[in-house]
Amino acid sequence: MPRTRMDELYALAEEHDGLLTSKEARALGIQDSVLVRLAQRGRLERMSRGVYRIAHYPADRLAQYREAVLWARASHHGEERVALSHETALLLHGISDVNPSRVHLTVPKAARLRREHPEWIMIHRANLTGEEISQHEGMPVTTVERSIMDVLSTTHRTDIARQAITDALREGLLSTAQASGLRNIINRSAHDLSLSTNGSKVKIHDSSASRTS
C-alpha cells in the first residue's frame, strides 16, 4: 500500500517527538499548502510559524525546547548551528535550580530570523563552535562550560554560576581543572564588577579561548 503524505510527515515527526517544520516537509516535496490543509482538517497542529505537531501525538516534557530549536531552524536559511543556552542549558544539564520563564536560544550572529518570534523564546546571538555544543535527548545544548560563561556574562549572577560549577563537578560534568578555571574567572568578574561605577557590563572573555582540558 503506497505511503500517504501523513505517513511521510509522521515518519519525519518521529525524529522530534511529534514536531516537524515546513522547511523539512518541503525537502520531501510536501508544499506549505498541504500542511495548511492538514491543519484545517485537524491532522496537524500549528505550533508557531513554520512548526507543526502531529495532532494527538503524545506530548513530551521537552516539547517546548524542541519547538524552540525547530522554530529557529525554520526561520533562516543559513548555518543551522543553533543551541539551547544560558539558564535553559543549565536547567537541561541539571546543574542549577534556575527555572527561566523563557527558553533561551543562541543563534548565529548573522542569522536573519523572522521579525516576529514567539514571546516565550529569548534569543541570543553568538557564533558557537562545534565544541561548544553538546546533545541532550537529541537537542543541541551549549556545553556546561559555555552555559556557565554565558549566564555569567549576561546576568553577572556569580551565585548561579558557582552553584552550577559545584553541581556539575558533583555530577562529573566538569573536571577539577575545568571547575578551578571557571571559579577563577568568576572571582575576577566579581572583583571587576565591584570596582565598576559606571554601570557598564563586565566583559567576560570567550570560553572557547580559555577552555581548560
Residue 130 sits in a domain of what CATH number?
3.30.460
Residue 210 is predicted with a pLDDT of 38
- Co-location of 42 and 135 in the same domain: no
Residue 117 is predicted with a pLDDT of 77
Residue 205 is predicted with a pLDDT of 41
Measured from the Cβ of residue 53, the count of other Cβ atoms closer than 10 Å reads: 22
Domain that holds residue 185: 63-209
- Co-location of 125 and 79 in the same domain: yes
Identify the three-state secondary structure at position 174.
Answer: coil
- Co-location of 98 and 202 in the same domain: yes
Distances (CA, A) of 133 to 53, 62, 103, 190, 197: 26, 18, 16, 26, 35
- Co-location of 15 and 74 in the same domain: no
- Co-location of 68 and 40 in the same domain: no
- Co-location of 114 and 186 in the same domain: yes
* Total domains present in the chain: 2
- Co-location of 180 and 82 in the same domain: yes
Residue 76 is predicted with a pLDDT of 64
Question: pTM for the whole thing?
Answer: 0.75
- Point out the residues of the chain with pLDDT beneath 50: 197-213
- Co-location of 68 and 48 in the same domain: no
- Co-location of 129 and 162 in the same domain: yes
Cβ atoms 81, 133 nearer than 8 A:
yes
The tens digit of pLDDT for each residue in 69-87 reads 988 887 765 556 899 999 9
- Co-location of 38 and 72 in the same domain: no
Identify the three-state secondary structure at position 47.
Answer: strand
- Co-location of 149 and 78 in the same domain: yes
Q: Locate all alpha helices (DSSP H) within 49-143, ordered by sequence.
A: 63-75, 86-93
- Co-location of 11 and 95 in the same domain: no
Residue 189 is predicted with a pLDDT of 79
Cβ atoms 190, 158 nearer than 8 A:
yes
